[in-house]
């Protein structure tokens, strides 16, 4: 025999019950780990920002050199 299909409200309830069960299985990081990882992320953002700024400045200088050479001809 075929099982009867659940109604929409039963499926919604089942979804939230299953979600709550899965959330209880999560191993949340400690506060120390969160701060450490946040510091690493912020440092990498700073380093990448400097890298992009230097790359941008270098490319602007290169473009200026190319444009000045093309104006002189």
58-72, pLDDT tens digit by residue?
A: 999 999 988 887 776
Q: What is the pLDDT of residues 15-57, one digit of tens each?
A: 999 999 999 999 999 999 999 999 999 999 999 999 999 999 9
Give the residue from 63, 66, 45 showing the smallest Cα distance to 55.
Answer: 63
pLDDT of 73 reads: 61
Ramachandran category for residue 28: left, alpha or beta (phi over 0 → left; psi -120 to 50 → alpha): beta
Look up the pTM and report it.
0.61
Residue 4: its pLDDT value, please? 63
Q: What is the pLDDT of residue 6?
A: 77
pLDDT at 41: 98
Tokens read off for 9: 């409200």
């Amino acid at each position: 025999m075929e099982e009867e299909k659940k109604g929409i409200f039963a499926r919604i309830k089942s979804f939230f019950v299953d979600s709550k069960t899965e959330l209880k299985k999560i191993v949340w990081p400690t506060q120390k780990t969160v701060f450490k990882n946040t510091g690493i992320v912020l440092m990498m953002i700073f380093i990448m920002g400097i890298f992009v700024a230097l790359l941008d400045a270098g490319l602007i200088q290169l473009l200026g050199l190319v444009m000045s050479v093309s104006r002189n001809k």
